[in-house]
Chains A and B, each alone.
Chain A
Amino acid sequence: MFKDVSFGQYYPINSPVHRLDARVKLLSVILFVVAIFFVKSYFGFMLTAALILFIILLARLPIVSVLKSVRGILLIVLITAILNLFLIKDGEVLVQWEIFVITKGGVHTTIKMVLRLVLLISGVSLLSLTTTPVQLADGIESLMSPLKLIKVPVRDIAMVMSIALRFIPTLFEETVKIMNAQKARGASIDTGSIVQRVRSLVPVLIPLFVNSFRRADELAFAMDARCYNATDKRTKMKKATLRFADFVAAFLILAFFAVILLERYYFPTVGINIDAKIFGGLL
């Protein structure tokens, strides 16, 4: 049932991308997400795809692991694509059948939309594939630290976040265990009709909740027993420091962002010309 949840699963190898500072990676992903919404030409999409491919190769990730994340949103992509294809009426009519009309503009918008979504998810999944949850939480804490000035309890938030991340696999395991136990008693979780399957979730969810509260209680006691408090005096065992590679990565992503913006606003003809050269009469 949960076999396909690969989005956000850390891929444990050692690569230059894995070693980058989580803060740099976080900011890069944000910049990347913003950038991809400025891309308008096929040339721009090719640039973006090239960047992602470059990072995948550098991180020595198997392409499959990235594609698996894309598979998770396949249905959404498909539905949006179909809606776009038939609803956008722009330019020359290509096909007309009853009320269904496909226009040239619609085809282009659809293709670009699919490209944008697929590249977006691939790019974002690179973050979680190359960064452990703990590094991520530490990175977010560090990035949020200026908010301490306006009395936001950043350390508490960070602790809550890391606990939540830490317990995702545990809850996952627990869910599988309880599901197995109920299946062994004949619950129709993997057999039977949809209605039966949904109804059979009750015997899984109730023990899961009960156990989660018990676990939370135990964790609170354990933290208390070790005198946990989220004051500023608390230090970190692993302190992240920026290295040369981090500056290189930051420079690369900024350069990419600049190129995308320049291509869109200052040299719009470049992209259009390249598109025309590659696709010729198709456009």
Chain B
Amino acid sequence: MSVVEIKNLSFVYSKKTPYETRALDDVSLTIEEGEFVGIVGATGSGKSTLIQHLNGLIRIQDKKRSSITINGMSLSDKKYLKKVRFDVGMVFQYPEYQLFEDTVAKDIAFGPKNMKLSKEEVDERVKRAMEVVGLDYATFAERSPFDLSGGEKRRAAIAGVIAMQPQVLILDEPVAGLDPVGREEILTLVQKLRREVSKTVLMVSHNMDDIARLATRIIVLKDGRVVADGTPKEVFISGKIEETGLELPLAARIAKNLKARGFDIGDAITPDELVAGVRRAMEAKHV
């Protein structure tokens, strides 16, 4: 059974007013357990609307035509709403702006507490979540989240989501506004989370290099429609990325440029593949 099943999902903002905009147009998708899905698209392509549907933050507009099923639970049914929100963890853009408690530990405990877990279980999960995101419990548990550095705040906020141990983790631009070191830390963390907490990960990003390196599957949105869906390689060489006004990963752009100048190294979308391709082509020439 698929973890996420979306059928014919459409969504219109501000219906019947001059502000009316169609955000999603007949989107159908299934996501299997264990996939790392990169969702890409230009601003306004419907990425945020799509992911907010997945844990019921945006309710399905046309219940007759559209349906979303998470682990077999239909989102058209209000009784599953809470359960789905705990099963699908959502890390918003700039998650550090949602911190509110006076200590880091209390803030992380907010989600598990809402799940009505026992106090011991909550404490256990807080400790585990802090450990996973790399915030030392003894040092950070009793500190105010507002005194942390930018990167630490973001990790604390992510811990607040993964403390609920969701099966599916959705991240909306998790590295926005971080310096290169901070980006690398968070991306490494995302990979770790996929191994240790949530098997299925959906990540919205504008950075194709990150997506090329991490994702097992890429979904490209344009004007509310899915215009490409496949492995990173399939999608990046299909030419669909350029059509949506996005940029290919750096490695793919270099490979393409080399090919245009008469030095064909094959397809490469990550730096490693690029190096391997160049080496192969050089060896072939020398022989």
Contact = CB atoms under 8 A, between A and B. Distances in A.
A186 B97 contact: no
Interface in A166-199: 177-178, 180-188, 191
A186 B111 contact: yes
B9 interface: no
B100 interface: yes
A191 B56 CA distance: 12
A231 B230 CA distance: 60
A202 B115 CA distance: 18
B81 interface: yes
A178 to B, nearest CB: 6
Given A11-B18, A177-B92, A183 B85 contact: yes
A184 B161 contact: yes
Contacts of A206: 100
A184 B110 contact: no
Interface in B12-37: 17-19
Interface in B96-117: 97-100, 110-111, 114-115
A191 B55 CA distance: 14
A13 interface: yes
Nearest to A181: B98
A191 B82 contact: yes
A207 B100 contact: yes
Nearest to A183: B57
A180 B110 CA distance: 14
Nearest to B52: A180
Contact of B92 (A180, A191, A203): A180
Residue among B99, B100, B111 with most chain A CB within 10 A: B100
Contacts of A185: 85, 110-111, 114, 160-161, 164
Interface of B: 17-19, 52, 55, 57, 81-82, 85-86, 89-90, 92, 95, 97-100, 110-111, 114-115, 146, 160-161, 164
A238 B156 CA distance: 47
Nearest to B18: A12
A163 B18 CA distance: 25
Given A207-B97, A207-B99, A211-B97, A184 B114 contact: no
Task: List 8 tightest A-B contacts by C-beta distance, closest first.
Answer: A186-B114, A206-B100, A184-B90, A181-B98, A185-B111, A203-B100, A180-B57, A181-B92
Interface of A: 11-13, 65, 177-178, 180-188, 191, 202-203, 206-207, 210-211
A205 to B, nearest CB: 8
Contacts of A207: 97-100
A169 B119 CA distance: 40
5 contacts: A13-B18, A182-B110, A185-B114, A187-B114, A210-B97
Q: Which of B18, B114, B115, B161 has most chain A Cβ within 10 Å?
A: B114
Contacts of B19: 12
Nearest to A182: B98
A178 B90 CA distance: 12
A186 B92 contact: no
A33 to B, nearest CB: 27
A157 B99 CA distance: 33
A265 B82 CA distance: 64
A203 B110 contact: yes
Given A177-B97, A184-B55, A185-B160, 5 more contacts: A181-B98, A184-B90, A187-B110, A188-B114, A207-B97
Contacts of A181: 90, 92, 95, 98
A17 to B, nearest CB: 15
B18 A184 contact: no
Contacts of A186: 82, 85-86, 110-111, 114-115, 164
Contacts of B57: 180, 183-184
A177 B86 CA distance: 18
A186 B82 CA distance: 7
A202 B107 CA distance: 12
Nearest to A185: B111
Contacts of B99: 207
Contacts of B160: 185
